[in-house]
Structure 1
Amino acid sequence: MVRLLGKRLCCLIVGLFLTLAHGSESQQAQEVEALVKNAIAYVKANGKEAALREFVNPKGAFIKGDLYLFVYNAQGVALAHINDKMIGKNMLDLRDADGKLVIKTVLSLGNSKSGKGWQTYKWPNPVTKEVSVKRSYTERYEGLYISSGYYK
């Protein structure tokens, strides 16, 4: 009887943990989408140039730890990124640790019928400095491919 109760309790704890982990990921996805939509609203209200400056401001509203924006034009040139060495460079052929063409996928998502979408790839986490699985969301607005993502 005690063993059966212990097994049930263990299963309950594991189930609760998986539910919380899934809820956390769902919440992260919502935060990412909200950040991208807020960025689009910022572009609408302040113009592209002011928005791109704000998107890379480390004390601004668009960088929160490992949550940040990355913005490309239709040619794959980085217009905003937490890694300032990437800004102004054509990143179209950039591949992740598994060889996936990350920026080509960003453009493909933005050029889709809906103009938005999600992708998963491996990317260096700016906080931990380790390559991690990242899930990112992209929306196209007036020639900008605005993306953000969270690390799993």
Structure 2
Amino acid sequence: MHTSSRSFLCICALGLLLITAGCTQNEPDTIVSAPETPGIRGPEHYTANETLVAFVESAVDYARTHGKDKALVEFSDPNGSFVRGELYIYAYDFNNTVLAHPFDPDKIGVNRMDELDAFGNPYTQQFLDAAKNGSGFVRFYYVNPAHNRTVESKLGYVMKVDEDWWLGSGIYMGPADTGASRATP
């Protein structure tokens, strides 16, 4: 009886080892990833909408605290405190004339009222309308100089400083969907 007890215990132990071995076996190496979504970049390039809004709000606060003249100098400085990665501040009056731009100083003093985006949408007019309402987002399509000047979807956010001028900034959202981005009459 002693031998049969040992055999029974060995068989039980062996069965238990086999069962637990199946439970702890490693799965084959698989890479799980979400499908690519056109127009959305990975986290390494993503700037949150909240970050965009906070950036513009901080520039409006700066302008209201330090005055228009000092603010326009700061916003036009490519090495200034309102250039942070892909974010920078641009300033316009309510006639849609550029007051400040850190990377395109030739546009300062230029009225862009009738300017269209890469697909013929009146984005500068949409900026103006949003600013007149206090603030707002505008999606438009613009050449991204950091990506071989390809046309990309861009999300802009604008905010009124006072009755004379407004500020904005934007983030590129990835390649433009040419089928869905054309202006509609």
TM-score by length of 1: 0.80
The answer to whether the Cα contact below 8 Å between 2:56 and 2:159 also exists between their aligned partners in 1 is yes
Aligned mates of 1:66, 1:141 — CA distance in 2: 22
The answer to whether the Cα contact below 8 Å between 2:76 and 2:100 also exists between their aligned partners in 1 is yes
Aligned residue among 51, 66, 71 for 2:91:
71
Matched residue count: 140
- Aligned-residue Cα RMSD (Å) equals 2.4
Where do 1:3-152 residues align within 5 Å?
13-14=33-34, 24=43, 27-81=47-101, 82-112=103-133, 115-128=134-147, 129-142=149-162, 143-152=164-173
Deviation digits for residues 4-47 of structure 1 (CA, Å, limit 9, x no counterpart) = x88xx66x5217x77xx689587431221111111111111210
Is there any run of 5+ residues in structure 1 with no aligned partner, and where? none
Q: Which amino acid aligns with 1:14?
A: A
Runs of 4+ with deviation above 4 angstroms: 21-27
The answer to whether the Cα contact below 8 Å between 2:47 and 2:171 also exists between their aligned partners in 1 is no
Is there any run of 5+ residues in structure 2 with no aligned partner, and where? 1-26, 174-185
* CA displacement at 1:120 relative to structure 2: 0.5
The answer to whether the Cα contact below 8 Å between 1:65 and 1:127 also exists between their aligned partners in 2 is no
Aligned mates of 2:60, 2:105 — CA distance in 1: 21
Q: How many percent identity over aligned positions? A: 28
Please tell me whether Structure 1 or Structure 2 has the larger radius of gyration of its CA atoms: 2
Aligned mates of 1:120, 1:26 — CA distance in 2: 16
